[in-house]
Amino acid sequence: MSFHKNGLQARLLFAATAISVALIHQSTIAQPTAGQNDTQKGTVESAKRMLPDAKATSPSSVDPSSGQTEVSEENTTTALDSPVAEPKLPTPSEALLEAFSPPPQAKQLSKKTLLWVDRDKKRVYIDGYVAMDRGPLEMFACPSGTKEHESVVATIARSSEVHAALLAVGAMSGTPVMFSPNFVPPTGQRIRVWVAWRDEDKKFHVVDARSWIQNVDSKQAMQADWVFAGSGFWTDPSDGKQYYRADGGDMICVSNFSTAMLDIAAASSADADALLFQPFGERIPERGTLVRLVLVPIPIPTDAPSALPSKVDANKPPSEAILPIRQAG
């Protein structure tokens, strides 16, 4: 299911309307050639006979209370020259709200975002859309309006909000990557990321997000896990306020960034000429496809005895129930 297709249809309709108006305008101002004069004179005279009496529509004879307006060549030309209003297209957020219902038993964290938590199943749900499937890749996911040109998915939630959601389901943050004096990989609890969507026939699909990321050298899907590095804060000297660094775009990264919320626990250059990963294009649905991400903390191994086994199996794909189709009405 894609919000781009509806937008494309609307734009095509707009273009067709604009072309029609342009052709009509052109025909009204085109000057007849010498060979066309007699024919067009006859046509004009016939058209005049079909029009109301000029006296009946003259300014002096129009009843102001009737709502009639004088139609003149000048008015007609102005109307034809007026631009056709382009139809309003749905935003990704509006398209998602129209397509999907919230995940069952999950609590929405904010009405401004499409972000939910399920504390019982230890899951975080984020709605978004496919932003790109070709080109240089530094992120798997970014907040909408930030780094869509280098991210496979754009989400309707900020990185700081997803950070809070992960903490709410018990995930443990670690430390971002360090580059100096020596490279130190990011740390934090491992997070499994799933991508769910429905195709044009509304058939459900779900895959490990790593299968959408291809190693440039081996041509295989990414194997490294994401870890909850946690990004950090910076203080803006202009207003003295603190801001979450990953809100600038570095939500779920495939290149190492000290600002990353989720990063991969392996060395992965962010230099443009040495990027390690690219989109696995043939596996990714078309741009604009609406998706729901599912983030699940992978339980941390422990030597301590446990009375109850963990109910969380992060390696088990979520069922179709997580992506209910919104019913009309």
pLDDT digit string (tens) for 224-243? 999 999 999 999 999 999 99
Do residues 14 and 150 share a domain? no
For residue range 204-216, list pLDDT tens digits in order. 999 999 999 999 9
Q: Say how many domains are in the chain.
A: 2
Same domain, 38 and 186: no
Q: In whole angstroms, what separates CA 220 from the centre of its chain?
A: 26
Both 132 and 160 in a single domain?
yes
Query: Residue 318, Cβ neighbours under 10 Å: how many?
Result: 18
Residues 236 and 194 in one domain: yes
Q: Are residues 126 and 148 in the same domain?
A: yes
Residue type, 173: S
Instruction: Among 24, 48, 81, give the residue marking a domain's end.
Output: 81
Residue 11 included in any domain: yes
DSSP of 286-303, one letter per residue?
A: PTTBEEEEEEEEPPPP-S
Task: Let me know whether 127 and 251 are in one domain.
Answer: yes
Domain that holds residue 265: 92-299+312-322
Type of residue found at 267: A
56 shares its domain with 158: no
- pTM for this predicted structure: 0.74
* Domain end (from 23, 50, 81): 81
Locus of tokens 């081996």 = 218
Q: List CB contacts of 76: < 8 A, sequence separation 6 or more.
A: 28
242 in a domain, yes or no? Answer: yes
Residue 11 CA to residue 21 CA, distance in Å, equals: 15
Burial class (CB in 10 A: 0-12, 13-18, 19+), 287: middle
State which H helix or E strand residue 9 sits in.
Answer: helix 3-29
- Residues 146, 200, single domain; the answer is yes
Does 180 lie in the same domain as 121?
yes
- Same domain, yes or no: 58 and 112: no
Q: Is residue 305 part of a domain?
A: no
> Residue 242, Cα to own-chain centre: how many angstroms?
27
Per-residue pLDDT of the chain (329 residues; tens, 9 = 90+): 876 655 544 443 344 344 344 433 444 444 444 444 444 444 434 433 433 443 333 333 334 344 444 444 455 455 445 566 677 889 999 999 999 999 999 999 998 999 999 999 999 999 999 999 998 899 999 999 999 999 999 999 999 999 999 999 999 999 999 888 888 999 999 999 999 999 999 999 999 999 999 999 999 999 999 999 999 999 999 999 999 999 999 999 999 999 999 999 887 665 556 578 999 999 999 999 999 999 999 998 866 655 445 678 999 999 999 999 998 76
What is the DSSP annotation of 154-177?
A: EESS-HHHHHHHHHHTT--B----
Is residue 278 located within the same domain as residue 190?
yes
Contact, 285 vs 1, CB < 8 A? no
Buried b (16+ CB within 10 A) or exposed e, 105-124: ebeebeeebbbbbbeebbbb
Contacts of 311 (CB under 8 A, 6+ apart): 120, 121, 122
User: Which of 81, 101, 118 corresponds to the end of one domain?
Assistant: 81
Radius of gyration of the chain (CA): 29
Strand spans (E) along 181-328? 190-198, 204-208, 213-215, 226-228, 233-235, 242-244, 252-253, 262-264, 277-279, 290-297
- Domain shared by 168 and 257, yes or no: yes
Relative orientation angle of helices 73-81 and 3-29, to the nearest 10 degrees: 150
Residue 293 lies in a domain: yes
